[in-house]
Amino acid sequence: MTKRALLSVSDKQGLETFAKELSDLGYELVSTGGTKRAIEAAGIDVRSISDVTGFPEIMDGRVKTLHPAVHSGLLAKRNNEDHKRQMEELDLTMIDLVAVNLYPFKETIANPEVTEEEAIENVDIGGPTMLRAAAKNFEDVAVVVNPDDYRKVIDGLRQGDLPHGTRRELAAKVFRHTAHYDALIAEYFTGLTGEKDPETVTKTYEHVQSLRYGENPHQSASFYKEVKEDKGSLAYAEQLHGKELSYNNIQDANAALEVVAEFHAPAAVAVKHMNPCGVGNADSISEAFRKAYEADPVSIFGGIVALNRKVDRETAEQLSGIFLEIIMAPAYDEEAFDILTKKKNVRIMKVDPALEDTTEQKLVSVRGGLLIQDKDKGTLSQVELETATERAPTEEELEDLKLAWSVVKHVKSNAIVVAKGDRTLGVGAGQMNRVGAAGIAFEQAGDEAEGAVMASDAFFPMPDTVETAAKAGIKAIIQPGGSKRDQDSIDACNEHGIAMVFTKMRHFKH
């Protein structure tokens, strides 16, 4: 009995070869619209879908495969005598192979100028329906959604038939593909409505790479990216040199990119275990890195460095003198690249953190569920600083306060950052109480804390942190304010001549 293959593809890659090889294997080819024309142009015999359905393609191609003659051929079970009888009585023919890929919805909505009408016209209806029908009946119908699988299918058919395992793998790929496609459509239309908390949420991501392991060697891990392109993210970074990224590398590198993106002037950020350990701001990138390094020359060892300017020779020489896991920058001078690549294992990434962050939400998995929140994109430009103390900060102190506040936003709570002279001096991260975080930051800053400023990610519930800051020599503090006991902290600052400003914006990071 002659076997029948239905081909209807948006992506014509490999179509001509696949169609010819199917024809050579004795398959009768049936096709639609542009796919049929492409096969005919290659000199291969092919029937129109209208010959099978007895009904013309109508409504600009919106209706062509939605017909019992198509879906009975896909869904009929070959080992079901009743199905076979009905097919014979109705003079219907089995379809043994389907190759379909869908209208380019993802590519369509990637255009920032796309209209709703254009998006709607690229919502495929017949394609997903055929794919799902064929995948449901995969034991009898081979289904191909990705041109990369054409060769596997042809090789299997030449051996007599596709193994059951291969058929099931192809069906699984179809269900993933249609789920991904539908999730993109749902997300797009939900965005148009402006709904913040829809009754269900389906997020979809695309595979970037399998990782050697997760946080620890006994944990497996993979890296996936959002479909919406974000050139300033690690998912779209170009690795120019070094070993593959690990799970921990990706976590730390992402943290470094988010911190350095806060700065417009040349800036360098060193990160260890997802917390910034040194941040420098300067007129040149080499000076910015020097400041970041001097902020904590111990913790930077084995760390991640992100820079927001092209790396020059001077900066590369500084970087090469330290053991680093990853270096990230928008670009590298040829001489700088030659210096850095002398170290075989260091990962050198090309990524521009200054590009707009298009990610609007942060997703965190919890046991049995998912937490979703808006990303913390709060900046000082969105608030009016309020001087709470008798003394206002000087212009120099205010600049240091702004730097400290930009950094503390990215430090695990409870968080304290000490800064002076366009660089951090000490970072206290992830402590169970704020005084403990301050103690760590002041210990790291040492004598340099004298005359420095301090940022706190949340308000002071009591004046003990201010008292600790006064002993360390802190001259100005920035914090959200809003505690019932704010006045106690204000009084303590006034007593010690410390200027304190409120942002009225909290930056907890859990």
Which residues are identified as catalytic?
136, 273
In three-state secondary structure terms, 384 is: coil
Cα pseudo-dihedral 397, 399, 405, 408, rounded to 10: -80
Q: Structure tokens of 404?
A: 């400290």
Strand pairing class (238-241; 347-350): antiparallel
Q: What distance in Å separates the CA atoms of residue 465 and residue 470, rounded to the nearest whole number?
A: 9
**Cβ–Cβ < 8 Å for 456, 442:** no
Give CA angle at 420 (419, 426), nearest 5°: 35
The H-or-E segment that residue 490 falls in is: helix 486-496
In three-state secondary structure terms, 464 is: helix
Q: What distance in Å separates the CA atoms of residue 444 and residue 453, rounded to the nearest whole number?
A: 14
Q: What distance in Å separates the CA atoms of residue 73 and residue 292, rounded to the nearest whole number?
A: 67
**Cα dist from 71 to 68, 90, 127, 137, 373, whole Å:** 5, 13, 12, 11, 42
* Cβ-proximal residues to 255 (8 Å cutoff; 6+ apart), any chain: 271, 274, 275, 276, 304, 410
The H-or-E segment that residue 304 falls in is: strand 303-307
Q: Using CA of residue 85, residue 91, residue 92, residue 94, what is the dihedral sign?
A: positive
Length of the chain: 510
Which backbone phi and psi does 318 adopt, to 5 degrees? -65, -45
* Pick from 42, 33, 25: nearest CA to 97: 25
Give me Rg for the CA atoms of the chain: 30
Q: At what angle do helices 164-193 and 150-158 cross, to 10 degrees?
A: 160
